[in-house]
Amino acid sequence: MKIAIIGGTGGQGLGIAVRFVQTGEDVIIGSRTMEKAQAAVDKVKDLLTDVGNLKAALNPDAAKEADILVLTVPLAAQRATLLSIKEGAAGKILMDATGPLETAIGGLPTRCLYLPEGAAAERAQKIVPETRVICAFNNISSGALMNFTEPIDCDCLISGDDLESKKTVSRLIEKIPGVQVVDCGPLERAQIIEKITPLLIGLNIKKTCKDAGIRITGIDPECKL
């Protein structure tokens, strides 16, 4: 599977890129500039011995070339970035990790912004209506993703309106050691999923740790509905 990480030069995108390279996917790291995309690719090459078909591209080209996309930009950049890839993203699945955190307006990362569209992932779906948006990777920290020699001790809560797309991304994400994907239901559940992120950041600060995560218990791991 060819996966483009749109805005893959920051902490979250790079971490997801590293993990998907490890699971054997063809990864394209996207950026607004080729220099930054190439620098991110070089970073991954420094970390891993086998990077397969890892490559750098501008965001619109990465979106066109890939089968599946992951969006990892700050909320303030979400709309412009999605508009820049709209054509290439049409008909594809896009996993949106955007956190609606107050930092987007200079506030605290422990507080959520209330968006008129509901969740950031719902906003994404409105901007790229021909793309199947799945809320994913909001609850796994970049630190846990980048600690690539260790399994990740965190579930990946996802939500979206297309069951087949959720099954596709679940199969991909669950190749990452330690991660259980929990399908939380329709895309509107992203309103809850995205609010867990500032909670985890707050716990990192309060408990002086780095990679607080979340596990859902009591569900049948074989039940993929």
Q: Could you tell me the smallest distance in angstroms from the CB atom of residue 140 to ligand NAP?
A: 7
**Which residue number, 10 or 185, has a Cβ lying nearer to ligand NAP?**
10
**Which residue number, 131 or 142, has a Cβ lying nearer to ligand NAP?**
142
Query: What is the length of the chain?
Result: 225
Using CB under 6 A as the binding rule, whether residue 166 contacts ligand NAP is answered as no
Measured N-to-C along each axis, helices 120-127 and 75-89 cross at an angle, to the nearest 10 degrees, of: 40
Using CB under 6 A as the binding rule, whether residue 43 contacts ligand NAP is answered as no
Sign of CA dihedral 130, 135, 136, 141: positive
Q: Could you tell me the smallest distance in angstroms from the CB atom of residue 222 to ligand NAP?
A: 27
Give the separation between CA 104 and CA 91, rounded to whole angstroms: 29
Give the separation between CA 48 and CA 34, rounded to whole angstroms: 21
Using CB under 6 A as the binding rule, whether residue 165 contacts ligand NAP is answered as no
Contact residue for ligand NAP among 3, 20, 36, 66 (CB under 6 A): 36
The one-letter amino acid at 68: I
The contacts found for 99-106 with CB under 8 angstroms, 24 or more apart, are 99/75, 99/138, 99/194, 99/197, 99/198, 100/75, 100/194, 101/75, 101/197, 101/198, 101/201, 102/198, 103/74, 104/74, 104/75, 104/76, 105/76
# binding residues, ligand NAP (CB under 6 A):
25
> Of 19-27, 92-100, 126-134, 169-177, which segment contacts ligand NAP by CB under 6 A?
92-100
Q: Could you tell me the smallest distance in angstroms from the CB atom of residue 225 to ligand NAP?
A: 26
Site for ligand NAP in 114-143 (CB under 6 A): 138, 141-142
> Where do contacts with ligand NAP occur on this chain (CB under 6 A)?
7, 9-13, 31-32, 36, 72-77, 80-81, 97-99, 101, 138, 141-142, 197
